[in-house]
Amino acid sequence: MKNEIKKFRAKLGITQEQLAEKVGVRRETIVFLEQGKYNPSLKLALLIAKELSTPIDKLFYLEE
Amino acid sequence: MTFLLSFSNIRLLEIINKIMTKKTYNKIKLGIVFVISLIFSISLALNNFFIPITTLVLASLVLFYLRKKVVGVIADERDYEIGGKSALLAIQLTSWIGAIVMFGLYAFSDRNPFYQPIAMTLAFSICALMISYSIIFKYYNKHSFKNEKRD
């Protein structure tokens, strides 16, 4: 699974720390998510999509 | 005197509330673990079992209190996932190593009479570990494990 968290986060101009705080995870989790080394739970994915004001299917998608 | 004590307690609580970051918490945790291990080794050498138990209970209470004061997330879903995988691997490794050592000790029990009771203890310990793992796994499988409960 791939994601565009970094892109949408940069668009909003928020740091990894700020996003982590908003969704209630550690900053390292956001780092691993952005690097594609960790697949989030559905709850976390929905929270991130909500915080980044982006539809979840644009934020997370399966690799072709 | 009482006023001074209560004032210092309030100041201490204020300081704890202010400085209790994840980093400070981890440092205090490390310090407490060091103190516990020191007290344990000294107490066991002196054949005193009351002090280590009391220390352990007190340390757990202090850590529990400080953990509640930490601002920010100490562990999240990724940590729990890693924790689950690590625990499973640790159980599998311990069971395999324990079983191999147990059979080895049984095989050589005629050389040393102490090998057999050690092998028996090892066998029962491994069984207890695997049974407790299965029971806990079944429990969590039945009652879904929500993230909120683990914070």
**Tens-place pLDDT, residues A9-64:** 999 999 999 999 999 999 999 999 999 999 999 999 999 999 999 999 999 999 87
Residues B122 and B61 in one domain: no
Count CA within 13 A, CB hemisphere, residue A18. 9
Contact at CB, B76 and A25, closer than 8 angstroms: yes
With beta carbons under 8 A apart, name residues in chain B contacting A29: 76-78
Contact at CB, B73 and A25, closer than 8 angstroms: yes
Domain end among B69, B88, B103: B69
Domain end among B69, B100, B116: B69
Task: Tell whether pTM > 0.90.
Answer: no
pLDDT in tens, B37-95: 999 889 888 888 888 899 999 999 999 888 888 877 778 899 999 999 999 999 999 99
User: Phi and psi (nearest 5°) for A60?
Assistant: -120, 135
Residues 6+ apart with CB under 8 A from B72: A21, B21, B22
Counted domains in chain B: 2
> Residue A52: helix, strand or coil by DSSP?
coil
Q: Compute and round to an integer the Cα radius of gyration of chain A.
A: 10
Residue B19 pLDDT:
67
Residue B52 pLDDT:
87
Residues B24 and B55 in one domain: yes
CA angle B137, A48, B80 (to 5 degrees): 25
Q: Is residue A61 part of a domain?
A: no
Contact at CB, B76 and A40, closer than 8 angstroms: no
B77 vs A21, A28, A41: nearest CB: A41
Rounded average pLDDT over B4-15: 61
**Residue A25 is which amino acid?**
V
- Confidence band for B13, pLDDT divided at 50, 70 and 90: low
Residues B64 and B92 in one domain: no
Domain encompassing residue A47: 2-54
The span from the CA of B117 to the CA of A64, in Å, is: 58
Counted domains in chain A: 1
DSSP states of B89-105: HHHHHHHHHHHHHHHHH
Task: Kindly report the CATH number assigned to the domain that includes residue A44.
Answer: 1.10.260.40
Pick from A57, A5, A53, A1: nearest CA to A30: A5
Mutation target to probe the A interface, by most A beta carbons within 10 A, among B70, B78, B79, B81 is B78
Domain encompassing residue B40: 2-69
ipTM: 0.82
- Confidence band for B130, pLDDT divided at 50, 70 and 90: very high
- Confidence band for B151, pLDDT divided at 50, 70 and 90: very low
Look up tokens 């996932």; give the residue: B81
Question: Does the CB of A6 have a partner CB in chain B at under 8 Å?
Answer: no
Domain end among B20, B49, B69: B69
Residue B150 pLDDT:
46
Cβ neighbours of B78 (radius 10 Å): 21
The span from the CA of B95 to the CA of B92, in Å, is: 5
Q: Is residue A59 part of a domain?
A: no
Q: Is residue A20 part of a domain?
A: yes
User: Phi and psi (nearest 5°) for B70?
Assistant: -65, 130
